[in-house]
Amino acid sequence: MRLLVLFLCCIILTISCQKKTTQIPKGDFDYLIGNWERTNEQEGKVTFEYWEHTKESLYKGVGFTLQNSDTIWKEHMQLIQRDTTWTLEIQSDGEPIVPFAIIKKTANTFTAHNPSNEFPKHIAYSYFDDTLTAIVYSDDMRIPFIYWRVEE
């Protein structure tokens, strides 16, 4: 009998000490989640992007470029939903946040727009076949960032 009581106490203690995790529902931009490495970077440089889904209405990302193990560029990004509108916010180190309104969205693409920003005025992301493409552009310039998923 003592053994049974001790066994039940161990089970109750184990269950009560388990870490409780909150599941975030699948979201509109889950294809971004993970670690990405740019495939079309200049020789001698390596660029990465990392995204996570932190809250139901918030995705956070960071992008950075390394050259000779030194970080030469870094920016923080977030996709945030306010009411029914999504916004992409980008902040380079030491600079103010630049908001881009999401003007078009499908299951695996989105386009963001800020006509008052000098460059870029548009940012378009698309995901296909485990490749993430981000294109930053204005009327006279276009820069593609092509990423493949980095396994953790």
What's the confidence (pLDDT) of residue 26? 76
> What average pLDDT score do residues 8-14 get?
40
pTM for the whole structure: 0.82
pLDDT higher than 90, residue 148? yes
Any idea where the domains of the chain sit in the sequence? Answer: 27-150
What's the confidence (pLDDT) of residue 23? 52
With a pLDDT cut of 70, the percent of the chain lying above it is 83
DSSP one-letter string for 101-147:
EEEEE-SSEEEEE-TTSSS-SEEEEEEETTEEEEEEE-SS-EEEEEE
> What average pLDDT score do residues 16-28 get?
56
Task: Say which residue the tokens 């388990």 belong to.
Answer: 18
CATH architecture for segment(s) 27-150: Beta Barrel (2.40)
What's the confidence (pLDDT) of residue 142? 98
Q: Which two tokens stand for residue 114?
A: 């800020």
Range in 15-29, 76-90, 92-106, 127-141 the model is least confident about: 15-29
pLDDT higher than 80, residue 58? yes
Give residue-wise pLDDT tens across range 73-123. Answer: 999 999 999 999 999 999 998 899 999 999 999 999 999 999 999 999 999
